[in-house]
Structure 1
């Protein structure tokens, strides 16, 4: 059956170009696609108890990290997700990761996710990366961006609010973490 609406983002428009490298508004941070050379960064991230707690994932080997990175790169080609490493623009030092996942090009919707390495916390890395990715996503046609986090994850709530994502509501018992089911705050940015 033919659609009676035009897709918000034309299928093939993202995968037909390389995943872009982005900059934060202040120019201090760069968001670049993950490379297979980022295995040590991914391993270090998932060795951190806070990242494991909120993302319910561990990496036991370099092979698992390579597999994760391979999937991340393939997801761009499939227009399912985009993952970027967040680093200092001056020297490329990895500070964190930001992702646009569950991309729905027809409706122009996606969800943001991120983590910040322990040594970079408190520097506004996540907030600035969220703002940069939000600007890019709006520019390519995403209409609605969700940012969800456990109601127990207060730092993520602060990031969402500082980045201009007001709280839309709470999804009760909607995410399974290692310690059980969590209520999730849903923050939303509508690009109009």
Structure 2
């Protein structure tokens, strides 16, 4: 059966699409992709809730970051997607299926949305789309989502997309902007056998 807007093809090169979005691969050789990645990773709201081991601090480091991510994807450790508007192709944010464990069939999902795209349900729609793709394409059994305690918007998105709260992980991520202090994380997860929620 040919893929539809609401049922992406299960193929490594596929670009999942539906809910008004298309999930594309990032291109480290594209200046437009690098600029969007830089804006997302340098955004104060992103930095409030995330502390990468290596921060993006300008165009060159953004390109290096994308290339590092591409190498990780080539090794099968993650599948990163650029979230775009299905009609215009405008970049709206990022969603990645990360820390893929093919033995236990589990992975972690993470996402961010550019400032101008917030407030339009982009993260929830991208999460619903990526989760469906990950279960079908990667044959995962469990998809986890963790966010810093206090990130209420991410908590709502997770629940809306069928990722119930499972508990609090103590000291499981770095404090904002620090690599020497930790904060607690809310863990959400969805199983392949869970009923799929309605469109976010």
TM norm. shorter chain > 0.5: yes
In structure 2, runs of 5+ residues without a counterpart are 1-10, 194-200
Alignment-derived partner of residue 5 in structure 2: none
Alignment-derived partner of residue 140 in structure 2: 142
Alignment-derived partner of residue 56 in structure 1: 51
Residues 20 and 33 in structure 1, CA contact (< 8 A), matched pair in contact too: no
How far is 1:173 from its partner? 1.6
Give the Cα separation in 2 of the matches to 1:18 and 1:169. 33
Alignment-derived partner of residue 22 in structure 2: 30
SS at match of 1:114: strand
| Structure 1 segment 66-105 matched on structure 2, within 5 A | 66-105=63-102
Alignment-derived partner of residue 157 in structure 1: 155
SS at match of 2:182: strand
Residues 77 and 99 in structure 2, CA contact (< 8 A), matched pair in contact too: yes
Report Cα offsets for 1:131-175 as digits up to 9, x if no partner: 111111111310000000011111100110111100011101211
Alignment-derived partner of residue 109 in structure 2: 112
How far is 1:47 from its partner? 2.3
How far is 1:19 from its partner? 4.0
How far is 1:96 from its partner? 0.5
SS at match of 2:87: coil
Residues paired across the two proteins, number: 174
Stretch deviating more after TM superposition (138-147 or 52-61): 52-61
In structure 1, runs of 5+ residues without a counterpart are 1-16
Residues 112 and 123 in structure 2, CA contact (< 8 A), matched pair in contact too: yes
How far is 1:61 from its partner? 2.2
Give the Cα separation in 1 of the matches to 2:57 and 2:69. 18
SS at match of 1:132: helix
Residues 56 and 65 in structure 2, CA contact (< 8 A), matched pair in contact too: no
Stretch deviating more after TM superposition (86-95 or 61-70): 61-70
Report Cα offsets for 1:97-149 as digits up to 9, x if no partner: 00000000111100000001111111110101111111111113100000000
Stretch deviating more after TM superposition (176-185 or 87-96): 176-185
Give the Cα separation in 1 of the matches to 2:77 and 2:51. 21
TM-score, structure 1 normalization: 0.86
How far is 1:18 from its partner? 4.6
